[in-house]
Structure 1
Amino acid sequence: MAGQKNTRLNISAGLASVAVAATLVALKLWALGLTSSLSVAASLADNALDLMMSLGGLLAILYAARPADEDHAFGHTSVEDLAALAQSVFIAVSGTVIAWAATARLLGLMESRIAAQGQGIAVMGLSVLLTLMLVLWQRRVARRTGSRVVAADSLHYLSDLLPTLGAIGALWASQRFGLAHVDSVVALASAAILLVGSMRIGKGAWDALMDRTADPDLVEAIAAIARDWPGVRGFHDLKTRMAGSRVFVHIHIELDGDQSLRDAHAIGAGLRRKIILTYPQCEVIVHKDVAGES
């Protein structure tokens, strides 16, 4: 039940991301035609990538929601990490292109002329409002479900806020003081933010694809549950790995070898249920060993 609810939340976040990205692309395309602002162009390029990656992320969420089958015994959630890794690559490319264009304008290799600043400011202000609403929803969903795709998408849109606010400032400076080069400086700063964000997203996805252990705090919390569980005399070989929004947990518990199989099974099953109820993102396998003989 919890898994189905998490899936619905992830899908809602994916649909919201696609809808907002499409709206922002349309608004900023119109604003670019009016203003010829590089900071607006940078924001537009970023949102165009957002739209493409949001569509890919939504497809990844839908695919990851498929149940385990004969060929994928542990499910399909690793596709979320692949999608997040692809996002990080596209974000890095976007940041590099923006940085090159901004540098070219600052060096005088490209013309820097901005117009219709007032209308551009209005469009970018609306973009800020839409982006904030989306980020707040995505962060709520990511906290509930642990989805890497939703978290990556949220980070990307959050990183969009500063460049968008910068674009508003650049348009205002151009309108009020005629400082056209502020636009290029803001675009260059936006590119730096994108590159830093892409490295963070890429590292998280890479760690999961390489079966890196789960967050140490989560591992310690699971260990504490096992340590205090009635009937468990000890445990060992607590291993975790991540795949998308799922955390796979393997643990060996040490039990009284003279008790019945039914009692031993009840202890292990109870521990498994407790871990899953506490951390719904976990898939748990409990191995039972005789205390003192493991």
Structure 2
Amino acid sequence: MRIEKKATLVSTTIAFLLVAFKLTVGIISGSVAVLASAIDSLLDTVVSLFNYFALHNSDKEPDENFNFGRRKLEPLAAVIEGTIISLSALFILYTAVSKMVQGSEIDHLDISIGVMIASLIITAGLVFFLNSVAKKTGNMVIQADALHYKTDLLSNGAVLLSLVVISFTEYTFIDPLLGIGISIYMIYSAFPLIKEGVLMLLDAALDPQSVAKINKVLNSQFDISSHHDLRTRQSGSEIYISVHIVFSISTSLYDAHMVGDRIELAFKNLFPENTVYSLIHLDPYDDSEEAHLD
């Protein structure tokens, strides 16, 4: 089993346990911050299960229905996860505002504080584990999962701090106020995740820095006349590069092919953490649109 799949199973199990603890204590105590954290953990469980499904199916070999595989499931999972985070944040915001308007008391603060301390420690360990997997694999789904639990870590810390302050001061308005702050931060964290996933689903080009590196490799090839029609995109952890390289008309097919192989290897070295697929067109003359116009 891939380490990415193991990571999603671990996160799903931990999220389920956190839901059980937080939801029970949140209902007993009436704390909107603890309930918000419980709802977020419940969504974590659903999202982690979906991430496992996405990783499992994205590994399948290309077939007659999906000639290029199913790697787009990874950015799709990231978009869905970001959307779920945003929707849960809106629900938390609504609950917090309602509590602030109506007012409420918080009971069993000692139990709530104990559960949040345990949640903080467990979530910190999970974030460390997911970050290490994300760095090793460069997988977008695991990066999204790590980001999600990182927001949980910060929100858990904030909830714990608010409960401690309330236990000493009895300023219960801090609880819904913190819920509002957590919801805003969750939306802010989810936006880049959704944006990156959507761009990948739309086959957006690689970032300008990566394209500049590719052009640098092409411009350094002394045995080609020019290049044109450079196109790039990314699907999950896979990068696709297409380009036309122009040779002298006297260059043999064998020599041109060897140059193409050399460029293909250079592209792979540019992105060692990704799987790179190169489509290099060997042109005996410049057949670009600009050349035809000239």
TM-score by structure 1 length? 0.89
Residue type at the aligned position of 1:211: D
Partner of 1:10: 4
For the structure 1 residues 171 and 74, does the alpha-carbon distance in structure 2 shift closer, same or farther, using more than 3 Å as the test? same
Q: CA deviation at 1:229?
A: 3.8
1:51 alignment partner, SS class: helix
Partner of 2:228: 236
* 2:23 and 2:39 in contact (8 A); partners too: no
State how far apart, in whole Å, the 1-side matches of 2:121 and 2:260 are: 50
Partner of 2:90: 96
User: Mean alpha-carbon deviation: is it higher for 183-192 or for 282-291?
Assistant: 282-291
Structure-to-structure mapping, 1:49-128, within 5 angstroms: 49-108=43-102, 112-128=104-120
* 1:249 and 1:283 in contact (8 A); partners too: yes
Identity %: 28
* CA deviations over 1:10-36 (Å, ceiling 9, x no partner): 223322321221222122134324432
1:252 alignment partner, SS class: strand
* 2:11 and 2:126 in contact (8 A); partners too: yes
Partner of 1:209: 201
State how far apart, in whole Å, the 2-side matches of 1:148 and 1:104 are: 36
* 1:146 and 1:281 in contact (8 A); partners too: no
Runs of 4+ in 1 over 4 A off after TM superposition: 291-294
For the structure 1 residues 120 and 229, does the alpha-carbon distance in structure 2 shift closer, same or farther, using more than 3 Å as the test? farther
Say whether residues 1:139 and 2:131 are aligned partners.
yes
Q: CA deviation at 1:178?
A: 1.0
State how far apart, in whole Å, the 2-side matches of 1:141 and 1:231 are: 41
User: Mean alpha-carbon deviation: is it higher for 223-232 or for 52-61?
Assistant: 223-232
* 2:203 and 2:233 in contact (8 A); partners too: yes
TM-score by structure 2 length? 0.89
Say whether residues 1:42 and 2:44 are aligned partners.
no
1:113 alignment partner, SS class: coil
2:255 alignment partner, SS class: helix
* 1:234 and 1:291 in contact (8 A); partners too: no
Partner of 1:3: none
* 1:173 and 1:180 in contact (8 A); partners too: no
State how far apart, in whole Å, the 1-side matches of 2:233 and 2:10 are: 29
State how far apart, in whole Å, the 1-side matches of 2:244 and 2:221 are: 13
For the structure 1 residues 218 and 133, does the alpha-carbon distance in structure 2 shift closer, same or farther, using more than 3 Å as the test? farther
User: Mean alpha-carbon deviation: is it higher for 212-221 or for 223-232?
Assistant: 223-232
Decide which of 175, 197, 217 is 2:189's aligned counterpart: 197
2:2 alignment partner, SS class: helix
Where does structure 1 lack aligned partners over 5 or more consecutive residues?
1-6
State how far apart, in whole Å, the 2-side matches of 1:16 and 1:275 are: 35
| Cα root mean square deviation, aligned | 2.0
* 2:27 and 2:35 in contact (8 A); partners too: no
1:107 alignment partner, SS class: helix
